[in-house]
């Protein structure tokens, strides 16, 4: 899994719609965790309802205090992996956690949403991590992750995949 570089708040990627379950299991294991929740209105054909959803889909913030915590948190049912940028774990500063807690906890702040997309449908990007490092791709769809297409012109084939935004880089940044 790699060496624990720092103690502090890490970002645990979890199975879809398992944020609350993972948060509860971490707390039962005496590991501090945080899932920022926001209120949103969902509409059906016959009604509207206000529900709470995670601000960051599939993310649970975990306060790691030891190597044991790092492994215990990852072993919880529903946990998949720690978010990384290359070989480095994504570390969230305490100040940032406090800011997120304030924003989602303040009743006067409404219409909260995240915007992590520097991508637009049709953009050409270069993948910067993993097995596809260096491959150019086109953005097909945007949500919490990007649907991309890699065109293999010599074979007249296209590969479609879903990839996290953090894996993509502007072509101009790469040069």
Mean pLDDT in residue range 43-58: 90
- Torsion angles phi and psi, residue 97, rounded to 5: -60, -45
Average pLDDT value over all residues in the chain:
81
Mean pLDDT in residue range 23-44: 93
pLDDT of residue 1: 46
pLDDT digits (tens, 9 = 90+) for 72-89: 999 999 999 999 877 888
Residue 159, SS3 per DSSP? strand
Q: How far is CA 116 from CA 120, 146, 168, in A?
A: 11, 11, 12
Full-model pTM: 0.65
Residue 157, SS3 per DSSP? strand
Q: How far is it, in rounded angstroms, from Cα 158 to Cα 161?
A: 10
By the 8 A CB rule, do 38 and 83 touch? no
pLDDT at 174 over 50: no
């Amino acid at each position: 899994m790699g060496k624990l570089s720092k103690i502090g708040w890490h970002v645990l990627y979890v199975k879809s719609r398992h944020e609350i379950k993972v948060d509860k299991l971490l707390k039962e294991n005496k590991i501090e965790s945080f899932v920022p929740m926001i209120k949103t209105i969902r509409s059906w054909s016959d009604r509207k309802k206000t529900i709470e959803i995670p601000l960051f889909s599939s993310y649970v913030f975990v306060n790691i205090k030891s190597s044991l915590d790092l492994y215990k948190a990852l072993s919880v049912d529903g946990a998949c992996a720690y978010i990384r940028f290359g070989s480095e774990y994504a570390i969230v500063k305490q100040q940032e956690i406090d800011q997120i807690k304030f924003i989602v906890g303040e009743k006067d702040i409404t219409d909260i949403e995240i915007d992590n997309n520097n991508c637009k449908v049709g953009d050409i990007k270069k993948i910067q991590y993993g097995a596809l490092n260096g491959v150019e791709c086109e953005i097909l769809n945007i949500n919490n992750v990007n649907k991309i297409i890699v065109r293999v012109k010599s074979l007249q084939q296209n590969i479609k995949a879903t990839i996290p935004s953090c894996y993509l880089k502007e072509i101009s940044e790469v040069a």
